[in-house]
Amino acid sequence: MGGYGDVQLLRDDGLRLDGRKLDEMRPVSIEAGILPAADGSAMVTHGLNVAVAAVYGPMEAHPRKIQRQDRAVIDVRYNMAPFSTGDRIRPGYNRRSREISKVTAEALESVVLVERYPRSKIRVEIEILAAEAGTRCAGLTAAAVALADAGIPMRDLIVGVASGKVEGIVVLDLDKAEDNYGQADLPVGILPNTGEIAFLQMDGDLSPDEYNLAMEYNFKAAAEIHEIMVDALKRRYEGGEN
Amino acid sequence: MVELVPTLLRQELARLAEDDQRLDGRSQWEGREVSLEVDCLYNAEGSAKVVMGKTIVYAGVKFELRTPWPDRPTQGSLMCGAELRPVAHRKYEPGPPSPQSIELGRVVDRGIRESGCIDMESLCIVPGEKVWGVMIDIHVLSDGGNIFDACGLAAIAALRTAIVPAERFDVGEDYKLKVNGTPIMSSFTRVGGRYIYDPSEEEELGGDERIHITLGDEGHLHSLQKGLRGVFTPAEFAEIFDVAHQRCTDLRTLVANQEGN
């Protein structure tokens, strides 16, 4: 966390700088099946974040050394477009995107019925077109919808959500300023039907009570986003405009 | 991934060409419907999204402050790059930029640069010390054929709507980037023995060499490129050159209309 501490993030009326309540998330909209070349795809707009996910496969796993005899491997690439942030990012993989890709893949492997596809690979490409804090969560949500859109069997969806702490107060869904100057960030991937957690990261400083409250906020937000995910998939398959 | 070109597809394309037909029912010089959206990315200083059939491309413009080249102390710089990331098609693999994506970026770059639509002198802030570097990044999200034209269109539309973020860099007030002209690219692929405009994914798969022509507002040539294995005659070029004129004019109007909105 940035932790500069001298930036005011809560207004005198107790609301946040963008007018949200402490437990209010930014608006989320989701569209499934937006990329014609992919087997499954989704776009998630979460506040000012825009994340696109494409799924290809299951396909032959190569190079062969990544093959697993008993299950499929999920090959995730999280990538930020050069124009997605304030200062241009040099194209290409970096340590941050590699780590996010790895933990996202492991989260998705926890819900996809990978044992149905031994020795194969499922490619999940996550592209961030606009980044304003919370891109790994938006990317994870997009990936889950894209996998479902591709018709790949899963135990449950995954919802990416985050809570954090600003000025000593726990808040849901940090925006850019809160992420830069806040004191903690707790992004998680929640299985909305089982209530299990498949993705967990955290940095900053949280007391046990603050952790519990942040997690409570996360579960509440996950239930809201889950409805939007299901709605996007229904629109795609119930003979809507697609 | 190696693309297998089915013999049957090539035979079918050749048969259709004999009857002057195309797989998707278009005529020889007919393009797909193009949809263009500008100012669609929050953090980019200029942006555009182009959809042409199954092809979807985004372009974003970013600015940076840099010191000018010693031999050109009063000139800023322009760079245009394209990424063919694995998101766009199952045939694209991760790794360093492929020769294909480098060619794509450079052909688009040449068309914009050589048209002179950006006056490099206008990007100078303090001669010899501080100039703007303009970066256009093109992101192909879905390759459904003819990504060259989609990328060229997205790049110039993004550039034409760009705002120079002078306030953020503490060098004055934000202002609209001055762009004098709208260079437009037209691409042709040989399919079933004859050239067609705006190839689809299947036509590229079962086709041969391609030609890319970028024309400026006055109808002057600013970039040419022949790609893939194959040869063409001067007469064939003369024919597609005429088509390119017409298609470029249509697309230039589309860009102008979007800016008006």
User: Is residue A2 scored above 90 in pLDDT?
Assistant: no
Question: Ramachandran region of residue B161, left (φ > 0), alpha (ψ -120 to 50) or beta?
Answer: alpha
Portion of chain B with pLDDT greater than 90, in percent:
92
Distance from CA of A189 to the nearest CA of B (A): 22
The mean per-residue pLDDT over the stretch A224-228 comes to: 98
Is A50 part of a structural domain of the chain?
yes
User: Is residue A240 scored above 80 in pLDDT?
Assistant: no
User: Residue A119: what pLDDT?
Assistant: 95
Q: Dihedral sign, CA of A81, A87, A93, A96?
A: negative
Q: Note the pTM of the prediction, 2 decimals.
A: 0.90
Portion of chain A with pLDDT greater than 70, in percent:
96
Quote the mean pLDDT of chain B. Answer: 94
User: Residue B261: what pLDDT?
Assistant: 54
- Tell me the per-residue pLDDT of B216-232, one tens digit each, with 9 for 90 and over: 999 999 999 999 989 99
Q: Do B56 and A36 touch (CB under 8 A)?
A: yes
**Testing the interface with B: which of A101, A124, A129 to mutate, by most B Cβ within 10 A?**
A129
Nearest residue, CB atoms, A83 vs list B41, B94, B201: B41
Per-residue confidence band for A6, with pLDDT thresholds at 50, 70 and 90: low
Residues 119-138 on A with a CB inside 8 Å of B are 123, 125, 127, 129-132
Q: Domain with A211 in it: what CATH number? A: 3.30.230.70
- Tell me the per-residue pLDDT of A67-121, one tens digit each, with 9 for 90 and over: 999 999 999 999 999 999 999 999 888 899 999 999 999 999 999 999 999 999 9
Is A3 part of a structural domain of the chain?
no
Is A173 part of a structural domain of the chain?
yes
Quote the mean pLDDT of chain A. Answer: 94
Distance from CA of A126 to the nearest CA of B (A): 7
**From CA B172, how far away is CA A50, in angstroms rounded?**
30
User: Residue A8: what pLDDT?
Assistant: 86
- Tell me the per-residue pLDDT of B116-136, one tens digit each, with 9 for 90 and over: 999 999 999 999 999 999 999
User: Residue A242: what pLDDT?
Assistant: 46
- Tell me the per-residue pLDDT of B21-62, one tens digit each, with 9 for 90 and over: 999 999 999 999 999 999 999 999 999 999 999 999 999 999
The mean per-residue pLDDT over the stretch A1-29 comes to: 85
Is A77 an 8 Å CB contact of chain B?
yes
Per-residue confidence band for B1, with pLDDT thresholds at 50, 70 and 90: very low
What domains, with CATH codes, occur in chain B? 10-260 (3.30.230.70)
User: Residue B2: what pLDDT?
Assistant: 53
User: Residue A4: what pLDDT?
Assistant: 52
User: Residue B199: what pLDDT?
Assistant: 98
Q: How many domains does chain A have?
A: 1
Is B44 an 8 Å CB contact of chain A?
yes
Range of the domain at A94: 28-237
User: Residue B83: what pLDDT?
Assistant: 87
User: Is residue B5 scored above 90 in pLDDT?
Assistant: no
User: Residue A7: what pLDDT?
Assistant: 77
Is A162 part of a structural domain of the chain?
yes
User: Residue A87: what pLDDT?
Assistant: 92
Distance from CA of B194 to the nearest CA of A (A): 26
User: Residue B64: what pLDDT?
Assistant: 95
- Tell me the per-residue pLDDT of A40-70, one tens digit each, with 9 for 90 and over: 999 999 999 999 999 999 999 988 899 999 9
The mean per-residue pLDDT over the stretch B242-248 comes to: 96
Residue burial B16-37, b: 16+ Cβ < 10 Å; e: rest? bbeeeebbeebebbebbebebb
Is A102 an 8 Å CB contact of chain B?
no
Distance from CA of A207 to the nearest CA of B (A): 34
Is A1 part of a structural domain of the chain?
no
User: Residue B259: what pLDDT?
Assistant: 79
User: Is residue B3 scored above 70 in pLDDT?
Assistant: no
